Amino acid sequence: MEMLKVTAIFVLSFFLLSTAGAQNMNALSDLQWKNRIILVKTSGDGIGVMKTLNQAREDIKGRDIAWFVVTGKGIESNLPQVSPDMAESVRDFFADEPHSARVILIGKDGGVKDRGDHLNLERIFAQIDRMPMRKQEVRRGEP
């Protein structure tokens, strides 16, 4: 019985800690200094875009990329959970964007690094790999 209580407390604590972290992600700025961000806006269902992003999962993970695909039905992401506030932040970013870009790369510093009209991961990865912060990560042996 005591072991059951300890296990229940551990599971509850883990759940609370993990959801607390997810709740703190309410805006793109919450990802600053942790992730590079790829934002994609598509008029379709985004299946092709998400397939491309999922196929590059390891390259994306190694470069600390969080991605968001805005479709007519909602927002998809590689984050475990997208809060309503985060979804609004992503939509607001596109609404405030002075260009008609459909793909935007944001650096860890929060600055827009690239804009494009279609998703080209090879070009985006090359752009990231030229960034000073990424070069430091590679020198330190980070993926």
Asked if residue 7 is part of any domain, the answer here is no
Q: What pLDDT, in 10s, does the model give residues 92-128?
A: 988 887 777 799 999 999 999 999 999 999 999 999 9
Asked if residue 40 is part of any domain, the answer here is yes
CATH code of the domain containing 90:
3.40.30.10
Asked if residue 75 is part of any domain, the answer here is yes
**Whether pLDDT at 4 is above 70:** no
Asked if residue 10 is part of any domain, the answer here is no
Residue bearing tokens 């944001």? 106
Q: Average pLDDT, stretch 33-56?
A: 94
Domain of 45?
A: 26-139
For the chain, what is the domain count?
Answer: 1
Higher pLDDT residue, 129 or 2?
Answer: 129
Q: What is the pLDDT of residue 34?
A: 96
Q: Which two tokens stand for residue 124?
A: 């985006």
Asked if residue 5 is part of any domain, the answer here is no
Sort 132 into a burial class: Cβ within 10 Å, 0-12 / 13-18 / 19+.
exposed
- Alpha carbon distance, N-terminus to C-terminus of the chain: 44
